[in-house]
Amino acid sequence: MIGLALVIGLPLLAALVGLAMPNRLRAAQVAVGGAAATWVVAVVVALPRFGDAEPVGGSWGHAWGTLSAPAVTFALRADSMSAALLLLAATVALLVQLYSVAYLADDSQYRAYAAIVSLFSASMHAVVVANDLFVLLIGWEMMGVCSYLLIAHYWKRSDARDGAAKAFLMTRLADVGLLVAIIALGQAVDSYRISDVLDAVAAGELSSAMITTVALLMLLAAVGKSAQFPLHTWLPDAMPGPTPISALIHSATMVAAGVYLIARMYPLFADSRSATIVLGLIAIVTMLIGAAFALAQDDLKRVLAWSTVSQLAYMFAALAVGSVVAAIGHLLAHGAFKALLFLVAGSVAQIVRSTAFIDMGGLRRGLPVTFVTGTIGLAALAGLVPLSGFFTKDAILGAASDSAHDGGAAPSWLAWSILVAGLVTAVLTAAYVTRTWLLVYGGERRSPFHAYDPPSLMRWPLIVLAVPTVLLGIAVLEPGWLGGAEAEPVHAWIAVVSTLIVVVVAGLTWLVGQSGDPAVRLGPARPVLAREFGVDAVYDRFAVRPTLDAADVVLHADSDVVDAYVRGASSGTMTASRLLRWAQNHNVQTYITVAVVGVAVAAVLAGVSAS
């Protein structure tokens, strides 16, 4: 328990201390030192959890008091899944902090940046080791806040601040779903502990309507956080942020939190057919459109962003067919190689001073480390044997095919569709990977730049990340590493098919790419894909515009309707006063006339009533 609390508390402390540091050097030392210490604690806590080890945890109840029943407690728990993600998050955070010291060497706002990265790290760890739904929610939303603040790091750029606003708003819209789900679950189970909830689901205490509703709401939150259709448009627009952030947040950790949420709450989905179907459908659509859009982009980081969207969809698909092990495995592998790719992109961007393909080309000469690690990362993304991406993708497709044959959580039509979509996406992935490689490294340089390998602080993280990119597959092969479920060994025919796909498609693309940008061959489809089907315009027209119009209506209502009542009351009072003032016309004769008439009437009435 202490270790788990430290894993959250140390980065938090590093963030606070780092903000108070007087200069860059001190702030960098605090940030990197904090990340390193956190990494050590994370390793100590996480390594014993793999395999069949019992989960550890504890809770501090009294500090959070009783917010009337059910009570919210600071409860933490680490099992093998948490351990895996904890290691991933801590490692990538440490590497990103190291990388950032060099990448942001001439940035005046480095202190705030490093502090927010530490805060983000604390939040991600909180999500991963939380045993109380509110601890998870706090970490979840704080990650969103940190992501917003970090994307807006270059707040002088309009695309950065617009992207930050969009990311925050879309994820917050989805997070409301998580909040409502937590409230509903808490009432139904009378506890906010994740372990209690999962026990209740296993014991069948919740009605199926409740399970489906909660599952769908959590799916909404995961869809927003992991940028799946239909909330997928924020991730590419978040790319104007600093590249190490994209490596940390938008590839390895925050966007993976959506997958983690569903994996953690998987029994809910296992019990709800409709939620599983929705999950599977979203995964299918997203993996296809993500890969298709990646093929048509002109900017390296946008390609990587769409690629992340597509790969996350693979993980969602694995969850849909019931294989948590495959999803988490791919999450780890993807975290490694996508972070690697983003850091490579950062190095390339520093050299070329831009992230657009048009300024790149011929980068295989002069920067050996960046070239080799980048190639390894791209190959892992495509799923080339024997890199990690191959094994994890194989696990997912194998799980889909097993589910299609043997039945399981997902109906077999869904499993078949996932299998087919997965293979099609593998085709597209191989295509865009090769295209990216060609445009960045291949050919001749298209703009003048000085090619050099970046400084060591930026080089070593690349090398370190290349190791799990290559070797993680072996670890995933180890049966039972995630505790419980048996990890399937390699499926023979899927392995053969996917390798064939990669080789053939890559080769074709390479050939096509010898005579220019392969994407040109897409023809008229290309602008459509580049515009991402215009989904953003649809959102603008049907969500943003009406809200702003409603806001105008409200403003007018306030000044013309509600205020009219107030002004009416005041002018009514003034009118009544003016009318009554007629009686005060300082004409004595009028007064006496009124008096005389009054007396006469009173006398008559008195006489009448007396008789």
Partner 1 sequence: MSPLTLVVIAPALAALLIWWQGKRWSDIDVARIGAAVSAFSLITAWFVWLTRGESVVHAGETDYEWIPALDIHWHLGMDGISYCMVLLATVLSGLCCLSLARPPSREAAHQPDRRSLVVLILVIEAASLGVFTALDLVLFFICFELALIPMWFVIAWWGDPHDPAGRRRAATRFLLFTVLGSALMFVGFIGVAWQTGTLQIDAITWRTASLTGTLNTLLAVAIALGLAVKTPVWPLHIWLPDAHAKAPTIGSVLLAGVFLKLGTYGFVRILVPILPVPAEKIGPYLAAFGVAGIVYGSLACLRQSDLKRLIAYSSVGHMGFVALGVGTLTASGLSAAVFISVAHGLITGLLFFVAGWLKERSGSSELSTLGSGLYGRMPWLAMAFAFGCLASVGVPGLAGFWGEMLALRGAYETGPAMNEAGAWTLLGIAAFGIVLTTAYFVGLMRRLLHGEPVPAVSVGAAPATATDAGTVETDTDTDTEAEAEPDLDREERVVCIVLVVSVVVLGLIPGLLSGPIAQAMPWIIGGVR
Partner 2 sequence: MPLVWPLLLSAALFGIGVYGVLARRNAVLALMGVELMLNAANVNLVAFDVWFRDVLVSGQVFTLFTIALAAAEIGLGLAIVLRLFRTYGHVDVDRLGGEP
Residue 547 site contact among partner 1, partner 2, none (CB < 5 to 8 Å, cut-off depends on kind): partner 1
Structure tokens at 204: 């069948």
Q: In 527-605, at which residue ranges do the beta strands (DSSP E only) sit?
A: none
Residue 599 site contact among partner 2, partner 1, none (CB < 5 to 8 Å, cut-off depends on kind): none
Q: If binding is defined by CB under 8 A, does position 584 make contact with partner 2?
A: no
Residue 162 site contact among partner 2, partner 1, none (CB < 5 to 8 Å, cut-off depends on kind): partner 1
Q: Which of 500, 562, 592, 601 binds partner 2 (CB under 8 A)?
A: 592
Q: Which of 593, 602, 605, 606 binds partner 2 (CB under 8 A)?
A: 593
Q: Which is nearer to partner 2, 496 or 595 (CB)?
A: 595
Q: Supply the minimum distance, in Å, between the C-beta of residue 601 and partner 2.
A: 15
Structure tokens at 553: 């209506």
How many other C-beta atoms can be found within 10 angstroms of the C-beta atom of residue 208?
A: 12
Task: Say if residues 70 and 185 touch (Cβ distance below 8 Å).
Answer: no
Report the C-alpha gap between 258 and 255 in whole angstroms: 6
Number of residues binding to partner 2, judged by CB under 8 A: 7
Q: Which of 67, 420, 596, 604 binds partner 2 (CB under 8 A)?
A: 596
Q: Which is nearer to partner 2, 456 or 590 (CB)?
A: 590
Q: Please report which residue ranges of 22-132 form alpha helices under DSSP H.
A: 24-46, 80-103, 110-129
Q: Which is nearer to partner 2, 358 or 594 (CB)?
A: 594
Q: If binding is defined by CB under 8 A, does position 156 make contact with partner 2?
A: no
Using the CB atoms, write b or e for 403-438: b if 16+ within 10 Å: bbeeebbbbeebbbbbbebbebbbbbbbbbbbbbbb
Task: Say if residues 417 and 280 touch (Cβ distance below 8 Å).
Answer: yes
Q: Which is nearer to partner 1, 39 or 140 (CB)?
A: 140
Q: Supply the minimum distance, in Å, between the C-beta of residue 163 and partner 1.
A: 11
Q: Which is nearer to partner 2, 589 or 609 (CB)?
A: 589
Q: Which is nearer to partner 1, 27 or 438 (CB)?
A: 27
Task: Say if residues 121 and 38 touch (Cβ distance below 8 Å).
Answer: yes
Q: Which of 209, 566, 588, 610 binds partner 2 (CB under 8 A)?
A: 588
Element (H, E) at 518: none
Please choose, out of 103-111, 230-238, 460-468, 580-588, the segment that lies near partner 2 by the rule CB under 8 A: 580-588
Element (H, E) at 15: helix 2-19
Residue with tokens 């085709």: 427
Residue 592 to residues 433, 589, 598: CA-CA distances in angstroms?
A: 104, 5, 10
Report the C-alpha gap between 208 and 367 in whole angstroms: 57
Please choose, out of 25-33, 311-319, 470-478, 581-589, the segment that lies near partner 2 by the rule CB under 8 A: 581-589
Q: Which of 581, 584, 586, 611 binds partner 2 (CB under 8 A)?
A: 586
Contacts of partner 1 in 542-571 (CB under 8 A): 547-548, 550-555, 558, 562-563, 566
Q: If binding is defined by CB under 8 A, does position 599 make contact with partner 2?
A: no
Report the C-alpha gap between 493 and 401 in whole angstroms: 11
Q: Supply the minimum distance, in Å, between the C-beta of residue 160 and partner 1.
A: 8
Length of the chain: 611
Q: Which is nearer to partner 1, 178 or 487 (CB)?
A: 178
Q: If binding is defined by CB under 8 A, does position 381 make contact with partner 1?
A: no
Element (H, E) at 155: none
Structure tokens at 567: 């002004």
Task: Say if residues 506 and 382 touch (Cβ distance below 8 Å).
Answer: yes
Contacts of partner 1 in 116-155 (CB under 8 A): 134, 137-138, 140-142, 144-145, 148-149, 152, 155
Using the CB atoms, write b or e for 28-63: b if 16+ within 10 Å: bebbbebbbbbbebbeebbeebbeeeeebbebeeee
> What are the φ and ψ backbone dihedral angles of 571, each rounded to 5 degrees?
-70, -30
Q: What is the DSSP string of 371-437?
A: HHHHHHHHHHHHT-TTSHHHHHHHHHHHHHHHHHHH--SS-HHHHHHHHHHHHHHHHHHHHHHHHHH
Number of residues binding to partner 1, judged by CB under 8 A: 50
Task: Say if residues 329 and 395 touch (Cβ distance below 8 Å).
Answer: yes
Structure tokens at 573: 């009072």
Q: Which is nearer to partner 1, 447 or 573 (CB)?
A: 573
Three-class SS of residue 284? helix
Q: If binding is defined by CB under 8 A, does position 158 make contact with partner 1?
A: yes
* Residues in contact with partner 1, shown as a per-residue x/- string from 183 to 202 under the rule CB under 8 A: xx-xx---------------
Q: If binding is defined by CB under 8 A, does position 602 make contact with partner 2?
A: no
Residues that bind partner 2 (CB under 8 A): 586-589, 592-593, 596
Residues that bind partner 1 (CB under 8 A): 62-68, 72, 112, 134, 137-138, 140-142, 144-145, 148-149, 152, 155-156, 158, 161-162, 164-165, 168-169, 172-173, 176, 179-180, 183-184, 186-187, 547-548, 550-555, 558, 562-563, 566
